[in-house]
């Protein structure tokens, strides 16, 4: 299968590192012009350099803005008023004892992980439907379905994101635009390394710490390892392509078999 996104512009939120940068790199390798977003221009510049190292002829630009706010969403849209592919990857996560999660923390998780996506879909979807082609992808998590006891607020936000995706897919019905969720399993990023060491012995070398984390806290994973960001990106690139034209309103899993279900 040859995926060609030449001539398509892709906006990827939260793309200065980790999964977002891997997704942007994968889209660029398929020929798309990519727009990186994040709050710090220096980190975005470093991410763009990394991307160009991987994809020598990449067309990449960046917009520094805070997409957790309405003002930040407006700033991005003003800078990039047209997108063929929108990947809402921006998100935060962390562990907290359930009864200690404050109202403010609940609101912060919802605003960052859900409303940041809604704001951008509201802006970009009309242009996509107007041209008769587009792809919206919301990066969710296994935690949307298997709610971890230590991060209920995070799980809640990702469950909401599945509903957002399904609802906007109905709004785009029959237009040539698809809207899907990608359910990512436990993934190896710098932030996740910090999270792992919150839950296992900090003295352990990384490979041992990873195995211990999976054994104690994610034992149902069939991979029995963390997923690499590039593995998430591979699915996103496919769902962004013409080949995925009949997949919409779906929650597509790249979870390493973590969710114990035979239904996608």
Show contacts of 232-235: CB within 8 Å, 24+ apart.
232/19, 232/22, 232/23, 232/139, 232/182, 232/184, 232/187, 233/19, 233/22, 233/23, 233/25, 233/26, 233/27, 234/26, 235/182
Other beta carbons less than 10 A from residue 71's beta carbon: 10
Q: Is the pLDDT of residue 27 over 80?
A: yes
Q: What is the DSSP letter of 69?
A: S
Token pair 């785009």 is found at 172
As given in the structure block, the two tokens for residue 169 are: 């897919």
CB within 8 Å of 248: residues ≥ 6 apart: 169, 172, 177, 178, 179, 180
Inter-residue contact 105 to 82 (CB < 8 Å)? no
pLDDT, residue 192, reads 84
Measure CA of the first residue to CA of the last residue in the chain; give whole Å. Answer: 22
Q: Is the pLDDT of residue 230 over 90?
A: yes
Mean pLDDT, to the nearest integer, of 40-45?
98
Inter-residue contact 176 to 132 (CB < 8 Å)? yes
Q: How confident is the model at residue 25 (pLDDT cuts 50, 70, 90)?
A: very high
The angle subtended at Cα 180 by Cα 174 and Cα 41, nearest 5°, is 120
Q: Is the pLDDT of residue 264 over 80?
A: no
pLDDT, residue 99, reads 97
Q: Where are the domains of the chain?
A: 9-187+231-253, 194-226
Question: What average pLDDT is seen over the chain?
Answer: 96
Element (H, E) at 63: strand 60-64
pLDDT, residue 182, reads 98
For the question of residue 197 being annotated catalytic, the response is no
* Nearest CA-CA partner of 258 in 94, 140, 141, 153: 141
* Nearest CA-CA partner of 256 in 148, 184, 191: 184
Task: Indicate the SS3 state at residue 147.
Answer: coil
- Residue 155 vs residues 47, 50, 85, 98, 244: alpha-carbon distances, Å: 28, 31, 25, 12, 27
d(CA 222, CA 257): 5
Give 124-153 pLDDT, tens digit per residue.
Answer: 999 999 999 999 999 999 999 999 998 999
Asked if CATH classification 3.40.50.720 holds for the domain at 9-187+231-253, the reply, yes or no, is yes
Query: Where are the strands (E) in 101-156, listed by range?
Result: 134-141
Q: How confident is the model at residue 36 (pLDDT cuts 50, 70, 90)?
A: very high
d(CA 209, CA 33): 38
Q: Is the pLDDT of residue 16 over 80?
A: yes
Catalytic residue, from 77, 109, 124, 154: name it: 154
Mean pLDDT, to the nearest integer, of 91-106?
95
Of 168-172, 203-207, 236-240, the poorest mean pLDDT is in: 203-207
As given in the structure block, the two tokens for residue 124 are: 């970009």
As given in the structure block, the two tokens for residue 177 are: 């635009």
Provide the residue count of the chain: 264
* Nearest CA-CA partner of 143 in 228, 216, 218, 225: 218
Other beta carbons less than 10 A from residue 106's beta carbon: 14
């Amino acid at each position: 299968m040859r995926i060609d996104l030449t001539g398509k512009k892709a906006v990827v939120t939260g793309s200065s590192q980790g999964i977002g940068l891997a997704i942007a790199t994968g889209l660029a390798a398929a020929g798309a012009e990519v727009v990186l977003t994040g709050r710090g221009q220096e980190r975005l510049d470093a991410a763009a350099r990394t991307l160009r190292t991987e994809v020598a002829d990449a067309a990449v630009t960046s917009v520094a803005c805070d997409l957790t706010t309405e003002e930040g969403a407006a700033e991005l849209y003003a800078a990039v008023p047209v997108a063929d592919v929108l990947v809402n990857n921006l998100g935060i996560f962390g562990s907290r004892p359930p009864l200690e999660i404050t109202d403010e923390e609940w609101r912060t998780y919802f605003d960052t992980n859900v409303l940041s996506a809604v704001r951008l879909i509201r802006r970009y979807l009309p242009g996509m439907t107007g041209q008769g082609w587009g792809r919206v992808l919301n990066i969710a998590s296994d935690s949307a379905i298997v709610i971890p006891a230590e991060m209920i607020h995070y799980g809640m936000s990702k469950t909401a994101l599945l509903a957002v995706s399904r609802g906007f897919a109905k709004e785009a019905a029959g237009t040539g635009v698809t809207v899907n969720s990608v359910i990512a399993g436990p993934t190896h990023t710098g932030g996740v390394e910090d999270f792992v060491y919150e839950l296992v012995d900090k003295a352990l070398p990384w490979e041992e710490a990873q195995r211990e984390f999976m054994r104690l806290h994610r034992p149902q994973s069939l991979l029995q390892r963390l997923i690499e960001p590039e593995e998430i990106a591979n699915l996103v690139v496919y769902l962004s392509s013409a080949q995925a034209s009949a997949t919409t309103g779906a929650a597509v899993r790249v979870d390493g078999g973590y969710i114990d279900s035979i239904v996608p």
